[in-house]
Amino acid sequence: METSQRDDQQRAAEQRRRELLEAADRVVLRDGPGASMNAIAAEAGITKPILYRHFGDKGGLYRALAVRHTDALLSGLRAALDCPTGRRERVEATLDNYLAAIEARPQVYRFLMHPADEVQGAESGFDVGRHSAPLLRRLGEELAQVIIERVELGPDGEEVARAWGHGIVGMMHAAGDWWLRERPFPRERLVRHLADLLWGRLAASGNLAGGPAF
C-alpha cells in the first residue's frame, strides 16, 4: 500500500512538472529570452516560491526546458537520418529538420541559445550564453553517436564521428542563427548550401584567377 501511494505521488509530481514546463513554454513562445519566473508562475496559476520549489531557480527551469526541446530535436534528427533515401537526401533532411525547428519556434530558440547581452528583461545574473554551451555540447555528442551507429568510418571512426558531430552542430547553430536574424533567402536554399559544403563542394571548387589558393 505504501509503495502504491509513493508511486501515485511520483506520478502526480511528474504530471505537475510537465504542466509547469508547458506553462513555461507558453510564456517563452510569447516573451522569448525575456521570459521571467514571475510571468511563468502567473501563467501556471501558482506563486513564484512554488515554481522555485520545483526548479530551484531560472537556471534549473532553463535546463529542464533545454532537455525537453533537445530530446524532441534529437528525435527528429534521428528520424531524418534513418529515412530510406540516399545519403545526400538524408543529410538535407537532417539539416532541414534542425532549421525548420528553429524557424517554427524562434522565441524558444532565442530563449535557449541567445547570448545574455541580447536578453531584454530577464532576471539579473542569468547568463543564457553560459547555459547554452552544455546544450550545444550535448547535441554534438548525440549527433556523433548517431554517425557512429550509421556510417562506417574505419579504425578511427569514433574520433572522426565526434569531430564531425560537433562540427556539424556548430555549423548548423551559427548558420541558423544568422539566417533566422536576416532571412536573406528561403530555408530550402540554406539547406542546399550547407549540404553542398558537407558534400565536399568546397574541396571540388577551383581557385579564382589571381587569388590566393584556399
The count of domains in the chain is 1
Q: Quote the pTM value.
A: 0.79
Q: Is residue 44 part of a domain?
A: no
Task: Identify which of 66, 48, 67, 45 has the alpha carbon closest to the alpha carbon of residue 56.
Answer: 48
- Please enumerate in sequence order all residues whose Cβ is within 8 A of that of 30, keeping only pairs 6 or more positions apart, or say none: 107
Instruction: Please state at what angle helix 128-150 crosses helix 58-81, rounded to 10 degrees.
Output: 20
Q: Is residue 37 part of a domain?
A: no
Q: Is residue 208 part of a domain?
A: no
Residue numbers of the domain that contains 80 = 59-201
Q: What percent of the chain has pLDDT over 70?
A: 84
Give backbone dihedrals phi and psi of 137, rounded to 5 degrees, phi first.
-65, -40
Distance of CA 88 to the CA centre of its chain: 22
3-class DSSP state for residue 54?
helix
Mean model confidence pLDDT for the chain: 84
Mean pLDDT comparison of 44-48, 54-58, 157-161, 191-195, highest-scoring range: 191-195
Q: Is residue 168 part of a domain?
A: yes
- Please enumerate in sequence order all residues whose Cβ is within 8 A of that of 192, keeping only pairs 6 or more positions apart, or say none: 92
Residue 155's CATH number: 1.10.357
Q: Is residue 12 part of a domain?
A: no
Average pLDDT over residues 77-101: 89
Residue type, 80: A
Using only C-alpha atoms, what is the Rg of the chain?
Answer: 21
Residue type, 204: A
Residue 4, pLDDT score:
78
pLDDT at 96 over 90: yes
- Model pLDDT for residues 108-146, shown as the tens digit of each residue: 888 888 744 444 444 544 555 566 778 889 889 988 988
Q: Is residue 47 part of a domain?
A: no
What's the pLDDT band for 171 if we cut at 50, 70, 90? very high
Task: Identify which of 17, 42, 27, 23 has the alpha carbon closest to the alpha carbon of residue 121.
Answer: 27
Residue 61, pLDDT score:
87
Residue type, 60: G
**C-alpha cell of 108?**
524558444
- Residues 103 and 71: their CA atoms lie apart, in Å, by 17
Distance of CA 116 to the CA centre of its chain: 17
